[in-house]
Structure 1
């Protein structure tokens, strides 16, 4: 840079580096504050990994999630939702949207639905982040949140 002393140039470089580090940290914090991304689902009954779900923000600001692939005994790419009773009946589970309509509500996301492809039932859904955004607690319920069950999903890199 012309017109700067070596000392001033050194200060300028440190300020630019600090700004870049702050921008990087802000991006990481924004990701940690949002459930968007890839999640390994964990079966609440067996404790075993079941699938990888991708949660994205839709154009209307709500969140939805789709199955990218199954894990373990659920890894058959031709597996279908035979228990589903809506338009997803007999559709491939891989690529299927199982979460939709989730809206931010403070530190939680609520107001949407989640499909359990194992039994074909659709539940109201709410979710929140834990462990600095590395875990997502997903609760499916009928009526009120107390009448349901939760799974803790693990963020994938």
Structure 2
């Protein structure tokens, strides 16, 4: 049986593009997540996590929901700076999160914006073993006490 170099080239190219596509989508943090309020247990919004060229993760709100019995929040009224009075949909709430070089399930160095209070918190996160839950620990700078927020992957 005669081998065709053109066939081998096409097969090799096809394998490489498939591997590249798999690698681009295999990042467990990248994708759509539901945010769960730690105080009420309700899902408040959907966010999309993306990774930039510097390997930093950020999350942007793509959908908001209100807690039953509470006033719906449409804009970041208590935010300061460029986020002041901006619509929640499209607002970036998590920035600068990077993977811990010693643990592929830990992420550090982030900043979390709470649209309700307008406060900014230091953030670190842990991807749970099933890959479907992200626990974000946020705290004020210099404080050991903080909050744990759970995001569930869609």
Q: TM class, shorter-chain normalised?
A: 0.7 to 0.9
Counterpart for residue 35 of structure 2: 41
CA RMSD of aligned residues (A): 2.8
The structural deviation recorded for 1:146 is: 3.1
CA 1:155–1:75: 2 relative to 1, 3 Å: farther
* Cα displacement string for residues 48-85 of structure 1 (whole angstroms, at most 9, x for unaligned residues): 11000100001211000000010244996x81100001
Misfit runs of 4+, over 4 Å: 73-76
Between structures 1 and 2, the one with greater helix share: 1
Which one of 76, 87, 91 corresponds to residue 81 of structure 1? 76
- Aligned position for 2:7: none
| Alignment map for 1:19-98 (pairs within 5 Å) | 30-31=26-27, 34-73=28-67, 79-98=74-93
Which secondary structure does the structure 2 equivalent of 1:132 belong to? coil
> What residue in structure 2 maps to residue 113 of structure 1?
111
Residue from 134, 145, 151 that aligns with 2:149: 151
Please give the secondary structure, in 1, of the residue aligned with 2:130: helix
Give the number of equivalent residue pairs.
135
TM-score by length of 1: 0.74
Segments of structure 2 that go 5 or more residues without pairing to the other structure are: 3-14
SS in 2 for 1:133: coil
Distance 1:108 1:145 in 2: 20
Give 1:47 shift: 0.4
